[in-house]
Amino acid sequence: MSPEEAVTGADGSGAPVTVADRAACAALDAADPLSDQRALFHLPDGVIYLDGNSLGPVPHAVPERLAAVVRDEWGDGLIRSWNAAGWIEYPARVGAQLAPLIGAAPDEVLAADSTSVNLFKLLVGGLRLRPERRVILSEASNFPSDLYMAQGITHLLGDGYELRTVDAEELTDALNDDVAVLMLTHVNYQTGRMHDMAALTAAAHDAGAITLWDLAHSVGAVPLDLAGCNADLAVGCGYKYLNGGPGAPAFVYVRRAHQQDIEQPLTGWLGHAEPFAFGSEYRPAPGMARFQCGTPPVLAFAALEAALTLWEDVDLRALRAKSVALCELFIARVEADCAGHGLRLVSPREPALRGSQVCFAHPEGFPIMQALIARGVIGDFRQPDILRFGFAPLYLRYTDISDAVDVLRDILDTRAWDQPEFKARAAVT
Ligand SMILES: *Cc1c(COP(=O)(O)O)cnc(C)c1O
């Protein structure tokens, strides 16, 4: 059975869909071209990790590399390591390492700061590229930090600047000649819905706007082609599908054609053309270097760089094929095995419209997720009622999906979620 046949039935005759049972899933695992990758991660016993879209697990390469950097480069090298160990090159070097994952050239990407801070840099930079326009256009259901950063910028700049949000279906119509920047998250954090980057970028360009794509839920999960889409600007996250560790450096992409004109508003010394001249007037560095602000967090960079070495051997088409197969299997198994329990699919049913996550709404979503986590099936809950499951193809097995759905069904059948301990909310959900 192929991954597609596992959930769709082989003959396309409209006969009842065959859903892979555990034995069929084991056969899919045995034939999985990515199966070697799992051994490269530390995955705790008894856990099925369906939250790699929020915080990726630690690759074995990371603790080894971190220990060496602390002992040799920091410990023995001391301040000499900025040059001798190439610490000062980390933002450009890790940016170049990321470039093939997003369809960019090595000198179009820089790793730095957090996604939110990078959104600030690129939103202001993008607005300045269209000085006669005043509107940032986005989607109402975009990730809150993206909207908050835009709100802060319009407040800071005053002068008629405005964030306008519409529903996804209305974006194209809303692209008029007020719009300076179209800011979108490629894969929606809540529903997994994936935008057509090429089409929306083309529509934005027809309207004279700059595009800013947030790839937080895309990079490392779906193949990306920023160059092929003519995308102008992008940001992305290092700690989700890239497994760079909690608070890992994020990244910035600026299409080469914009690099000399774009202004970076956080004019720290490391974005200066000559930081070690210690002059008193700011002068931006050429190219992507101006997107640095302050000193790079070397230990965090060491972890991210080690985690990114895993991608050198990954065929992104195989990654996407497995991602789709895992998501399809999960949807089919949940709908077959948990029928009648009130779960409603909120992710698009069509794989082409979906990233690598699947979300179901349920009025008791919060305690159900807590009960799942208590049983070792880790996903997360998003307001108001969404059970969110991320499928990272590097380390998940088809049998994990089968086992996870068995646990979900048991929790629903037995109402195991209906306990006070599962209803208390911690600071981080
Ligand atoms: C995860 C995520 C962020 C996170 O931003 P941080 O600054 O790293 O906290 C931003 N935007 C989107 C769409 C995300 O999914």
Residue 62 has pLDDT above 60, yes or no: yes
The whole-angstrom separation of Cα 423 and Cα 276 is 55
Model pLDDT for residues 170-216, shown as the tens digit of each residue? 999 999 999 999 999 999 999 999 999 999 999 999 999 999 999 99
Q: Is the CB of 230 under 6 A from ligand 1?
A: no
Residue 15 pLDDT > 80:
no
Q: Judge whether 184 and 214 are in contact, CB under 8 Å.
A: yes
Is residue 8 predicted with pLDDT exceeding 60?
no
pLDDT at 12: 44
> For the residues 309-315, what does the mean pLDDT come to?
96
Prediction pTM value? 0.96
CB of 141 closer than 8 Å to CB of 114: no
- Please report the DSSP string for 382-408 in residue order: ETTTEEEEE--TTT--HHHHHHHHHHH
Distance CA 19, CA 16 (A): 9
CB of 141 closer than 6 angstroms to any ligand 1 atom: no
At 429 the pLDDT is: 81
Check whether 295 has a pLDDT greater than 80.
yes
Does the Cβ of 115 fall within 6 Å of ligand 1?
yes
Task: With a cut of 80, say whether residue 17 has pLDDT above it.
Answer: no
pLDDT score of 28 more than 90:
yes
CA of 232 to the centre of ligand 1 (A): 19
Q: pLDDT band at 317, cuts 50/70/90? A: very high
Give the residue numbers marked as catalytic: 143, 214, 239-240, 388
pLDDT beyond 80 at 343: yes
Q: Can you spell out the DSSP letters for 273-284?
A: S-GGG--SS--B
pLDDT at 19: 85
The predicted-structure confidence for 393-426, as pLDDT tens digits, reads as follows 999 999 999 999 999 999 999 999 999 999 998 8
Pocket test for ligand 1, best of 116, 141, 193, 217 (most atoms within 8 A of CB): 116
Q: Does residue 7 carry a pLDDT above 60?
A: no
